[in-house]
Amino acid sequence: MSDPVLEISGLEVTFPGLVRSTTILRSIDMRIDAGDVLGLVGESGCGKSMTALACLGMVPAPGSVSGGIKVDGYEVVGRSDAELGAVRGSKAAMIFQNPMRSLNPFFSVGRQMTEIIRLHRSCDKADAYMIAMEELTSVHMPDPDFALSKYPHQLSGGQIQRVMIALALACRPKLLIADEPTTALDVTVQAQIISLLRELADKTGLTILFITHDLGVVSQLCNRVAVMYAGRIVETGSVEDVIDNPRHPYAAKLMNTVPTIGHGLRDLDSIPGQVPDPAFPPPGCAFHDRCALAIELCSQTIPRTKVMAGAHEVACHRAGDIRDAAKVTS
């Protein structure tokens, strides 16, 4: 087995407070191998974006990070910003959910792209401009020379997101982290961006961590899924395993909240309650007070991760009860 492009072990992120500290991420373990497209899903407030920031050493102060994060074999935790320059861009790049806020409005797209390319690829201005043109062409930007001459406000949201993807890929990273990159775009442009990322993954073998709450996008783009709840990973596996046969009650509920075509009329499911406050986490399994299958053990003990079959892993006391798990998804 090859070394993973991203390996997270025992990751915890904590913010101090006046009365008590708040732990946002709790004992996160995750592995992404070369060529994988992993979808990280869950409700808002579960810790998805914080996981992405931690991967590049970008957790805002005064947050503290413990555990291990290796990007292409390079340990991120404990490194200074200067040391992380070896990771950001060249080993891992990130695109964010609001493309309009990702570029400096006072400089042209061409100036910003060429400066960043020169920084990471040690080339002159003319070569950097040609690389920018090639990368914009690879993401199907219409008239890339025209786009490079424009300022960010003169391009549409979809065009800016293509610029950000092209800029990320121009630095030749091993890992692309996409934090809900289609949220601010209309549905048609969302589909184009998803199709583009899938094409890049297929053609170049790009490894992608795709953060989203949209399960429809996951089924189109990803080959593996990790479900996050209240700062923990509760289920991981292939798209087929997790979407077609979820074994954690939270994952099963998530799947049932999505309308499907061709299954006739049915009521969409809902998840009662809300994600717990990370400053006051409940004892035991964080989902137990919203779970129809919870037993007394669930409110007392945090479940360990179990391997169900192959690479399908679930952190649930009742994951082995196939009949009850199926009942939740029906």
Q: Is residue 293 part of a domain?
A: yes
Is residue 310 domain-resident?
yes
How confident is the prediction along the chain (330 residues), in pLDDT tens digits per residue?
Answer: 568 999 999 999 999 988 889 999 999 999 999 999 999 999 888 999 999 999 999 999 999 999 999 999 999 999 998 899 878 888 999 998 777 788 899 999 999 999 999 988 889 999 999 999 999 999 999 899 999 999 999 999 889 999 999 999 888 899 999 998 887 778 888 888 899 899 988 888 899 999 998 888 898 899 999 999 999 999 999 999 998 889 999 998 888 776 666 556 666 677 888 889 998 999 999 999 999 889 999 999 999 999 988 889 999 998 877 544 444 544
Q: Which residues on neighbouring strands pair with residue 92, listed in sequence order? A: 88, 175
Domain housing 309? 245-330
* Nearest CA-CA partner of 175 in 87, 273, 299: 87
- In a domain, residue 264? The reply is yes
Supply the pLDDT for residue 325.
47
Cβ–Cβ under 8 Å, residues 218 and 243 = yes
What counts of helices (H) and strands (E) characterise the chain? 11, 12
CA distance 18 to 101: 32
Tell me the per-residue pLDDT of 210-258, one tens digit each, with 9 for 90 and over.
999 888 889 889 999 999 999 999 999 999 999 888 999 999 888 877 6
Residue 215 lies in a domain: no
Which of 328, 254, 330 is closest to 294 using CA atoms?
Answer: 328
Q: What pLDDT was estimated at residue 11?
A: 97
162 located within any domain? no
Is position 279 within any domain?
Answer: yes
User: Do the domain assignments include residue 205?
Assistant: no
- Dump pLDDT digits (tens) for 28-55: 999 999 999 999 999 888 999 999 999 9
Please, how many CA atoms are within 13 Å of residue 209, restricted to the half-sphere of its CB? 32
Global pTM?
A: 0.90
Residue 196 counted as domain residue? no
Q: Angle 138-205-239 (CA atoms, 0-180°, nearest 5)? A: 115
State how many domains the chain has: 1
